[in-house]
Amino acid sequence: MLLISPIHAQRLLGGETAIQLSGAIPTNSTDAISENFSFQLGVITNTKKGNYWKFESAYQRKTFDYKNQKLPYEFYNGNIGYFLQTFSNYQKNFLVYTGISGIAGYEVFNNDTSLLQDGATLNNRSGFVYGGKATLSIETYLSNRWVLFAFSEVNYIPKSELAQWQSQFGIGTRIFIN
């Protein structure tokens, strides 16, 4: 009987919950990774059809050169999104997801200081922003409860003082807890 019907582990069950940790690099960064990075911590809940909901908080830091100074930009945000499985192999160990999320957060320019060292004034103002995010994620199961993934994201934040369109790419891991 085992030769006729191969046994596969059950993956992508509805109601499974996972903790996700990921890191990313903004694509318009010009400096070292130590000064331009993003970290995300999220909770994933699978649906019955192999799709999932993601609830995530994130921190992003970028620096910009101004004369011989580095001006920091920080973005604290949270997002909620739905991810649709667009491709998977038969064993469900290689998957591609596309997702869309709502995003809201607070951006901070130059540690909330508008006066620069040379006397110039920074016109960008810190404040609350919101928008949307589109994500492409390539995922692989390393075991039944452990996923490794790579992703690319494009944020659309219409009221941002930095840029309306911001993108990043990164890697992460997900561990199912039930």
pLDDT band at 135 (very low <50, low <70, confident <90, very high): very high
Give the number of other CB atoms < 10 A from CB of residue 156. Answer: 13
Take residue 54 and report the two structure tokens written for it.
Answer: 């993601």
pLDDT digit string (tens) for 46-74? 999 889 999 999 999 988 888 888 888 99
- Would the pLDDT of 11 be above 90? no
Handedness of CA 162, 41, 101, 78 (dihedral sign): negative
DSSP per position, 32-66: -GGGSEEEEEEEEEE-TTS-EEEEEEEEEEEEEEE
Higher pLDDT: 121 or 49? It is 49
Give the number of other CB atoms < 10 A from CB of residue 59. Answer: 14
Give the number of other CB atoms < 10 A from CB of residue 55. Answer: 15
pLDDT of residue 19: 97
- Integer Cα distance of 170 and 51 in angstroms: 21
pLDDT of residue 22: 97
Backbone angles phi, psi at 177, to 5 degrees: -105, -10
Backbone angles phi, psi at 72, to 5 degrees: -85, 145
Type of residue numbered 71: L
The mean pLDDT of 109-123, rounded to a whole number, is 79
- Please tell me whether the overall predicted TM-score, pTM, comes out greater than 0.75 for this model: yes
- Would the pLDDT of 136 be above 70? yes
